[in-house]
Amino acid sequence: MRKKVCLILVVCFLLALAGTVALAEPHSIPGGPWIQPEQTVKLESLSQPEDVEKELLTIERRSRGRMEVELIGYSAGYEWPLYVAKFGDADDDKAKILIDTQIHGNEPLGTEAALGLIQNLAMSNNPEVRMILDNVTVWIIPMLNMDGSTIQEFEDGSQYQTRCNIQEWTPVEWGLPSDISAPWYNYGFYYPWFEICRGYDMNRDAHPHLAFDLSKHAEHGHIPPGDGGEPGFYVCPEIRALRDVFKELKPDLYVNHHHRGSALVDEEDRKLMTLQILGKFVPLGLEFELYQDGEHHVYYLDEDSLNLSKQVNALVYQKLTEMGNSPFTHITKYPLVHDFNDGRGLPGTTLASFSMNDAAVMLYETRGGIGQKSSGMLTRQSYIGLYETLLGFATGEVYEIDPEFYDVEIPPAGPSLSRPDRGLDGL
Ligand SMILES: [Zn+2]
């Protein structure tokens, strides 16, 4: 009897699960589904800044020298310690890869994938993992935006994270007159998409001149507010910390992980995408100029770094879609960022700025924003993408891929399911 009850419960559970899976892939119409303001989202399963610190330090102790954790700075608002997990040295004659996650605090699953990857690289006895670490230097910064990742609660008990960090505009500290406007990507209290925001969209704060120093531009030159077609100002301590790590490693590849609300694969297919990817953030050859320290600096995206970006994106697309019974077949490009801002792209993104410093780049835009039902699948998708990338560099397979695959075979972004009153979400 007891057994029977259990069996009935199991059957009920499986039926409920099947229902959940079916619900997770609805034949949606543009305009939904999205999280309604009154919809409670529980975020307890997500790592918090203190969990990241604890986990990294624990893994370091158990890694027997494979991985080192280094403090690289503090978040602007809550002053959470920021860490990079280092597998290998910057000066090694290996392929070098830098990965960060959660530059937007409310885009969390990249951090879960990165922590899983760090644990596997640090502790696995799999010969393939050994082979990767023998051939690739990997540095990972999980949860770059710890302020925004810190879970907050509304009065009704529902929880949220924020896109921005927590930081005020302080022009006098930069030697600027007190009436100089904040950088355009500083948001007083609300981000335009009705999100609470008390600081900066950190993914507009980068500049291709890695030594850019706002305090040297008080008299003339590149001062705020700026706009989306211009580079940022390195006012966020988190982005300066990332920049310093980039300068130290000089990576061949930089990976930056996000979520966006949701989008269809295409008008006909009407399935929800599971991932959007992209490798180009400013047009090829467009020059960004700057005078600083009495010198004229010019930055632009060149063909070599763009080709490797295409190869990396193509590799990830191929590996995810070619898995047996792959659940990851709904992958498209992200909208073409390099066409934004009258053809100037988004040079203040870390991807754009670093791509103008000889790094290949890859953007992950995991589906998100419709609840947490598919979190496990989406985290696994990012984990596999990152792992296969390391493997592709270790074996050299990535260099064998025809860059044209990226242009021809990876489908363009389908229609967005984001709220029409919002701008483009994600990046
Ligand atoms: Zn984002």
The model's pLDDT over 316-352, given as tens digits with 9 standing for 90+, comes to: 999 999 987 888 889 999 999 999 999 999 999 999 9
CATH number at residue 281: 3.40.630.10
Judged against a pLDDT cut of 60, whether residue 176 lies above it is answered with yes
Tell how far the Cα of 162 is from the centroid of ligand 1, in angstroms: 10
Token pair for 95: 């392929």
Judged against a pLDDT cut of 80, whether residue 415 lies above it is answered with yes
Q: Is 68 exposed, middle or buried (0-12, 13-18, 19+ CB in 10 A)?
A: middle
Question: What mean pLDDT, rounded, does the chain reach?
Answer: 87
What is residue 117's predicted lDDT score, i.e. its pLDDT?
Answer: 98
Cα–Cα separations (whole angstroms), residue 322 to 174, 329, 333, 402: 51, 8, 17, 17
pLDDT digits (tens, 9 = 90+) for 182-196: 999 998 666 555 567
Tell how far the Cα of 330 is from the centroid of ligand 1, in angstroms: 19
Judged against a pLDDT cut of 70, whether residue 25 lies above it is answered with no
Q: Which residues pair with 177 in a beta bridge?
A: none
Tell how far the Cα of 37 is from the centroid of ligand 1, in angstroms: 20
Tell how far the Cα of 102 is from the centroid of ligand 1, in angstroms: 7
Report yes or no on 197 lying in a domain.
yes
Residues 311 and 400: their CA atoms lie apart, in Å, by 8
Region 278-298: mean pLDDT is 96
Residues 144 and 164: their CA atoms lie apart, in Å, by 11
Residue 416 pLDDT level (bands cut at 50, 70, 90)? confident
Residues 138 and 289: their CA atoms lie apart, in Å, by 31
Report yes or no on 8 lying in a domain.
no
Q: Which residues pair with 138 in a beta bridge?
A: 87, 97
Region 147-173: mean pLDDT is 91
Residues 37 and 133: their CA atoms lie apart, in Å, by 45
Tell how far the Cα of 259 is from the centroid of ligand 1, in angstroms: 6
Tell how far the Cα of 399 is from the centroid of ligand 1, in angstroms: 28
Judged against a pLDDT cut of 60, whether residue 16 lies above it is answered with no
Judged against a pLDDT cut of 90, whether residue 314 lies above it is answered with yes
What is residue 340's predicted lDDT score, i.e. its pLDDT?
Answer: 93
Judged against a pLDDT cut of 70, whether residue 124 lies above it is answered with yes
Judged against a pLDDT cut of 90, whether residue 419 lies above it is answered with no
Token pair for 373: 């039902």
Does the predicted TM-score (pTM) go above 0.85? Answer: yes
Report yes or no on 399 lying in a domain.
yes
* Count of structural domains within the chain: 1
Strand bridging mode 360-367 / 253-260: parallel
DSSP letter assigned to residue 358:
T
Range of the domain at 135: 32-409
Report yes or no on 276 lying in a domain.
yes
Tell how far the Cα of 192 is from the centroid of ligand 1, in angstroms: 14
Judged against a pLDDT cut of 70, whether residue 177 lies above it is answered with yes
Tell how far the Cα of 251 is from the centroid of ligand 1, in angstroms: 21
pLDDT digits (tens, 9 = 90+) for 229-265: 999 999 999 999 999 999 999 999 999 999 987 788 8
Say if CB 335 and CB 341 are below 8 A apart.
no
Report yes or no on 2 lying in a domain.
no
The residue type at 401: I
Say if CB 299 and CB 405 are below 8 A apart.
no
DSSP H or E segment with residue 178: none
Tell how far the Cα of 101 is from the centroid of ligand 1, in angstroms: 9
Report yes or no on 6 lying in a domain.
no
Report yes or no on 143 lying in a domain.
yes
For residue 127, count other CB atoms closer than 10 A to its CB. Answer: 8
Judged against a pLDDT cut of 90, whether residue 142 lies above it is answered with yes
What is residue 138's predicted lDDT score, i.e. its pLDDT?
Answer: 98
What is residue 249's predicted lDDT score, i.e. its pLDDT?
Answer: 98
Region 124-132: mean pLDDT is 97
Judged against a pLDDT cut of 70, whether residue 216 lies above it is answered with yes
What is residue 64's predicted lDDT score, i.e. its pLDDT?
Answer: 94
pLDDT digits (tens, 9 = 90+) for 393-403: 999 999 999 99
Tell how far the Cα of 155 is from the centroid of ligand 1, in angstroms: 26
What is residue 37's predicted lDDT score, i.e. its pLDDT?
Answer: 43
pLDDT digits (tens, 9 = 90+) for 347-393: 999 999 999 999 999 999 998 754 566 788 899 999 999 999 999 99
Tell how far the Cα of 128 is from the centroid of ligand 1, in angstroms: 31
Region 95-112: mean pLDDT is 96
Tell how far the Cα of 108 is from the centroid of ligand 1, in angstroms: 10
What is residue 36's predicted lDDT score, i.e. its pLDDT?
Answer: 45
What is residue 331's predicted lDDT score, i.e. its pLDDT?
Answer: 95
What is residue 422's predicted lDDT score, i.e. its pLDDT?
Answer: 58
Report yes or no on 414 lying in a domain.
no
Tell how far the Cα of 160 is from the centroid of ligand 1, in angstroms: 15
